[in-house]
């Protein structure tokens, strides 16, 4: 179950505390939460991207036992990149995802995915990075042939 997606945060008023409650609820019901974190263009341009993403990660996982980290995943989705074609540079995405991994002790083995205009022509650049474990694919998943190509290139 995807929790904390930027569209839910912006359009439905989903808060960090709400994402945390849903994370606990999902885990207690045997669901695998995929927790989305990311910054706006304004937060990135004013130097607040790191602070925002670390805060979202810590808030979502507050009170979640470390032994549950293997039953969840995190997606770094820079809001300014979702569906825009303006993807985050893979080196910068890797840096942000390392920041996420280091934000809470115990996340070393937790899958962290990149979401934000990942496509067949750039997936290999992302998946080659050490802190990027895959992608959360949105628009590129709507074309079956293109998505199959993306999956091939991700390998």
Which residues are annotated as catalytic? 5, 77
CA distances for 111 relative to 4, 12, 13, 28, angstroms: 16, 26, 26, 19
Beta bridge partners of 3: 35
Closest by Cα among 16, 121, 118 to 59: 16
Q: Give the separation between CA 62 and CA 57, rounded to whole angstroms.
A: 9
C-alpha 107/C-alpha 76 separation (Å) is: 14
Angle of CA points 40, 61, 70, to nearest 5° = 110
CB 6 within 8 A of CB 79: yes
């Amino acid at each position: 179950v995807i929790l904390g997606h930027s569209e839910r945060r912006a359009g439905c008023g989903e808060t960090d505390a709400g994402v945390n409650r849903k994370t606990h609820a999902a885990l207690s019901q045997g669901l695998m939460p995929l927790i989305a974190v990311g910054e706006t263009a304004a937060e990135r341009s004013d130097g607040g991207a790191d602070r925002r993403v670390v805060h979202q990660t810590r808030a979502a996982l507050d009170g979640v036992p470390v032994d549950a980290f293997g039953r969840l995943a995190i997606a770094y989705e820079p809001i300014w990149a979702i569906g825009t074609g303006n993807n985050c540079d893979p080196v910068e995405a890797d840096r942000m995802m390392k920041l996420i991994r280091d934000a809470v002790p115990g996340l070393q083995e937790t899958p962290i995915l990149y979401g934000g205009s990942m496509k067949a022509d750039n997936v290999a650049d992302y998946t080659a990075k050490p802190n990027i474990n895959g992608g959360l694919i949105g628009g590129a998943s709507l074309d079956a042939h293109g998505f199959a190509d993306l999956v091939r290139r991700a390998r």
